[in-house]
Amino acid sequence: MPGGIDPHTHLAMEFMGSETIDDFFSGQAAALAGGTTMHIDFVIPVNGSLSAGYKAYVEKAKRSCMDYGFHMAITKWDETVSEDMEIMVKEKGINSFKFFLAYKGSFMVNDELLMEGLKKCKSLGALAMVHAENGDAVFEGQKRMIELGITGPEGHALSRPPVLEGEATARAIRLAGFVNTPLYVVHVMSIDAMEEIARARKSGQRVIGEPVVSGLVLNDSVLWDPDFHFAARYVMSPPIRAPGHGTALQGALATGLLQLVGTDHCTFNSTQKALGIGDFRKIPNGVNGMEERMHLVWDTMVASGQISVTDYVRITSTECARIFNIYPRKGAVLLGSDADIIILNPNSSFEISSKSHHYRTDTNVYEGWRGKGKVEVTIAGGRIVWENDELKVVPGAGKYIEMPPFSYLFDGIDKEDAKYLSSLRAPVKRSTT
């Protein structure tokens, strides 16, 4: 089948006073061992500058051993940012921009900035993406927990409940509908957010929902573990939810309410996570997933009978390639496609362990997971890079994949705009006498 495409990763990212432990070589090598042959990473601007951020990430990606693309985060708004967005789309092969509605004081944008960004994305044919949590309310929730003396990892989940993810998802969807531009909601972690996406799609709005593996298969009981170091490894945002949310997200994926699976791979080691001992607000957010995604989705969704093999290919590869406008170069096994192919043995077993994974981090949130369906061979760009449990990767072998604007999600938008304008029956001509 086609190699997997992970639409959501953070390699070598500076965040919360630290830098993710996996870089573009170690994270990608691990991904190849797990059957993923391309990923799309988020470029974080440098002091708000998109061009400076892009340059920094081009440098970070020089040791890449597999193909990759870039999304771009928008953290402030002025004329330079607007001009830079145009350069990114027209010259640098970036066709998606992410807006954080969370992380007050750092990445968070307000509704005014989001509106400007949505309008600009629409004009460029670029996909607007949102991290949907109400940052102001999360800040209030964090203060509340600290006042209650709840300073451990469980405070992280309690301070940002599903209702705040649902609210921000609904708000972003409605604003995108107002502008009439497609919207991509990253890491959908709750029933609350999923239901907003389902409602919007049912009404015909162009909204994509991306659950991540951790949200599909884990639950928040781990955050109440008495061992801080164990509990802290599971801290991510939005948080892993109570039992029931993951099952509902699996159902939404199986029925097409959600469209593809990412990881939000953003790894910190035990020492880095320990920065938050005594204050959960200082625990660097993020979990692993690039190496495990293909195995866990097969084991959870295919081996259980929830989806077909064809659906599996769609949610792990093909739909991502279509959304980001690189199909059939990626996401297909066709004449003329890149030769990114995996061989998965449904009868072969896998076991996940921090002792055998290929990351630099010393922990794994799926530690001890045993399942069926193992990627036995990974071919990237026609080269065998994973076979007989052995990696054959070379730094610098990965290619940057430019992603053109105006994917299928933009088809017919101009007709909808024309229909809207004709429906206004305005301005009304009135006599002035």
Mean pLDDT, to the nearest integer, of 371-398? Answer: 97
Nearest to 10 by CA among 267, 232, 323, 271: 267
- The per-residue pLDDT for 345 is 98
Largest CA distance in the chain: 87
- The candidate with the shortest Cα–Cα distance to 5, out of 41, 45, 44, is 41
Calculate what percentage of the chain has a pLDDT beyond 70: 100
Phi, psi of 71, rounded to the nearest 5 degrees: -95, 165
**How would you label 398-432 residue by residue, b for 16+ Cβ within 10 Å and e otherwise?**
beebebebebebbeebeeeeeeeeeeeeeeeeeee
- Conformational region of residue 276, where left means phi above 0, alpha means psi within -120 to 50, and beta covers everything else: alpha
27-78 residue pLDDT tens: 999 999 999 999 999 999 999 999 999 999 999 999 999 999 999 999 999 9
Q: Answer yes or no: pTM beyond 0.85.
A: yes
Quick: pLDDT tens for 75-86.
999 999 999 999
CATH number, domain 4-418, options 3.20.20.140, 3.40.50.10420, 3.40.640.10, 3.30.930.10: 3.20.20.140
Q: Is 277 exposed, middle or buried (0-12, 13-18, 19+ CB in 10 A)?
A: middle
- β-sheet bridge partners, residue 235: none
Write down the pLDDT at residue 18.
Answer: 86
Query: Phi, psi at residue 339, to the nearest 5°?
Result: -80, 70
**pLDDT tens readout for residues 235-292:** 999 999 999 999 999 999 999 999 999 999 999 999 999 999 999 999 999 999 999 9
Alpha carbon distances (Å) from 43 to 12, 69, 192, 230, 291: 10, 10, 28, 29, 21
pLDDT bracket for residue 16 (50, 70, 90): confident
H-helix or E-strand spanning residue 114: helix 111-124
What pLDDT does residue 15 have? Answer: 84
Per-residue model confidence as pLDDT tens digits over 182-234: 999 999 999 999 999 999 999 999 999 999 999 999 999 999 999 999 999 99
Closest CA to 114 of 55, 181, 162: 181
Query: Which tens digit of pLDDT belongs to each residue from 130-165?
Result: 999 999 999 999 999 999 999 999 999 999 999 999
CA separation for the pair 21, 27 (Å, rounded): 9
Average pLDDT, the chain: 97
Residue at token pair 């866990």: 296
Would the pLDDT of 432 be above 90? no
Q: Give the pLDDT band (50/70/90) at residue 433.
A: confident
**Amino acid identity at 77:** W
